[in-house]
Amino acid sequence: MGILDTLFKGTIDKRVNAGLNRALTSLYNRNVFQYLFDGNIILDANSFDYVEDGYEAVGAVYECVDLIVNKIIACPRIPYRIKDEKEYKKYLNYSKSPDTQAQAAISKAKALEEVSVPAIDRLLKKPNPENNMDQVLEMIAGLLLLTGNSYLYGNGSSTAIKDRKWSEIWAIPSEMNIKSGGLMRPVTSYEMRSYVQNDAFPAAQIKHLKTRNLKFTNTGQQLFGMAPLKAYAYSLDILKNVDRQSDKQVKNGGKMALLTPENKEDAWNEDQIGQIGDSLKEARASDDQMSRTVPLSVAVKYTEIGMSSQEMELLKTGDVKADDVYRCYHMPLQFRNQDTATYNNLPVANRQLIYNAVYPWIRKIEQALTEFICTPYNTASAEYIIVLDYTSLPELASDAKETSEWLDKMPWLTPNEKRAVIGFGESPQDGMAEIFVNRNTVRLQDVIDGKVVTQPNDNSGSTGTN
């Protein structure tokens, strides 16, 4: 061993080991924490397929998702221009509650103006050659409700892609993997998980709709939404087994029994047991009444048996777990049970359905469509949005009546402002843009000009005109 080795061996070993540790740490991070570098992120669904094991296998899931999606696609898609940003924020706040719908309608009339932008109108009517907007919304809403994630893909010419003015919009029928570019560029592209792709989708051409996910991990799982049913995965598993047990009961005819000789000396041998079993099978399969009678030469004992207590308890648990699914989607439980008592409360349940179960998803989809479609067409003087008009749904017909009655008690609004709230549009008739005194429905300006005066010696306080 040389003198240099003797003098510097300890220092060299420390530096070599430090370098190896840095290299191993970097390699570990690149493989385990791919989000921090340049790699794909796979969404961890806890080995649970919410489409196959939920939507396709559990009736309660299908009922909830189908009802919410149908309400979403029934809403008219209307482009608006924002006239007043403050009133628009008021409108969004008022829209969340059934108790403030009249205020919401007034704020909407002040804040928004219905417009026609040909490029936006075309996409809302026919987003691509194969699908209409109902079909696109059906796909993105269904996947969002089940998996917590759905994706829109925008396509067009090279110039259109650069400006993000899409000529086509498609709903991606698949879960996606994310290609990350590091902390400063967490998403650079998307790849479909269920289909083979030659090229990934650039992030600029994808609009990712996702639910709230509060779990931040080094592997980047926060880039995906969380499936609403994730907290109810055990309930779904129980519901699947409940269906299997119900099917078992049906196939067994609801009851099972044992046939045994009544006397010990009449015990059957193996061949006799086989012959009796075959006779019973043939009798059960026959439609002939006489053929369903099996003669026996000895007296037999009939002992009825049923399902185990655990299996019976599982069937009882099914209703409770189905209620859990309805609670997951904030669906009124009246929609599970249509007896007389619940039917009497159906008008209230209908409003709860729209405001609690449907509107939050409508708002999320509105925002996504607005950002993905309208943004390139905004100018300094015009900002466009897309609204899914849920107030036109039949469940809220009573709200329209209440709004009309409320407007009738608001003399400080002009007739045209009231018409705008109801959605009738302005009228060009004389006086429709002026305020009328509520008591005798006369013009405020006539009162100011003295054309309307109080009659003398009239204790009733009635008014008259000159």
Same domain, 246 and 333: no
Structure tokens at 423: 């959605």
Strands of 42-188 (E only): list them.
77-82, 112-114, 149-155, 168-171, 176-179
Handedness of CA 352, 358, 361, 363 (dihedral sign): negative
The answer to whether residue 346 is domain-embedded is yes
Residue 173's identity, in one-letter code, is P
Q: Is the pLDDT of residue 42 over 50?
A: no
The answer to whether residue 429 is domain-embedded is no
Helix, strand, coil share of the chain (percent; to 5): 55, 15, 35
Q: Is the pLDDT of residue 312 over 70?
A: no
Structure tokens at 320: 């409770």
At 118 the pLDDT is 94
Same domain, 155 and 76: yes
**Residues 306, 256 contacting (CB under 8 angstroms):** yes
The answer to whether residue 430 is domain-embedded is no
Residue with more model confidence, 301 or 377: 377
Residue with more model confidence, 345 or 364: 364
**CA pair distance 396, 246, nearest whole angstrom:** 38
If phi > 0 it is left, if psi is from -120 to 50 it is alpha, else beta; for residue 114 that is beta
The answer to whether residue 70 is domain-embedded is yes
**Residues 164, 375 contacting (CB under 8 angstroms):** yes
At 281 the pLDDT is 73
At 5 the pLDDT is 54
At 131 the pLDDT is 94
Residue located via tokens 């009659």: 455
Looking at 292, 315, 338, which one is the last position of a domain?
Answer: 315
Same domain, 223 and 246: no
Same domain, 26 and 38: no
Mean pLDDT across the stretch 215-224?
79
- CA 115 to chain CA centroid, Å, is 28
How does pLDDT run across 241-278, given as a tens digit for each residue? 776 666 665 555 555 566 677 777 777 777 777 777 77
Mean pLDDT across the stretch 144-173?
90
Q: Is the pLDDT of residue 364 over 90?
A: yes
Enclosing domain of residue 93? 33-229+316-424
Q: Is the pLDDT of residue 46 over 70?
A: no
At 66 the pLDDT is 96
Same domain, 87 and 102: yes
Transcribe 107-137 into DSSP letters: HHHHHEEE---HHHHHHHH-SSSS--HHHHH
Mean pLDDT across the stretch 123-132?
95
Ranking 136-150, 179-193, 347-361 by mean pLDDT, the lowest is: 179-193
The answer to whether residue 63 is domain-embedded is yes
Ranking 100-104, 289-293, 400-404 by mean pLDDT, the lowest is: 289-293
Same domain, 362 and 219: yes
Structure tokens at 375: 């943004």
Same domain, 161 and 247: no
Mean pLDDT across the stretch 388-404?
80
Vertex 82, ends 80 and 88: CA angle to 5°?
Answer: 110
**CA pair distance 123, 165, nearest whole angstrom:** 10
Transcribe 407-420 into DSSP letters: HHT-TTS-HHHHHH
Residue with more model confidence, 16 or 428: 428
At 49 the pLDDT is 85
Ranking 38-42, 194-198, 332-336, 373-377 by mean pLDDT, the lowest is: 38-42
Percent of the chain with pLDDT over 90: 31
Same domain, 121 and 78: yes
Handedness of CA 337, 343, 346, 352 (dihedral sign): negative
- 65, 86, 117, 367, 397 from 377: Cα distances, Å: 33, 21, 9, 15, 34
Mean pLDDT rounded to a whole number for the chain? 78
Residue 346's identity, in one-letter code, is L
At 448 the pLDDT is 79
Residue with more model confidence, 286 or 439: 286
Same domain, 401 and 266: no
Same domain, 326 and 306: no
How does pLDDT run across 407-458, given as a tens digit for each residue? 777 777 777 777 777 666 677 888 788 877 655 567 777 777 877 665 555 4
Structure tokens at 115: 């417009």
Same domain, 118 and 193: yes
At 137 the pLDDT is 96
Which has the closest alpha carbon to 46: 243, 241, 235, 226?
226
Same domain, 20 and 37: no
Which has the closest alpha carbon to 110: 340, 422, 420?
420
At 24 the pLDDT is 61
At 414 the pLDDT is 79
**Residues 347, 334 contacting (CB under 8 angstroms):** no
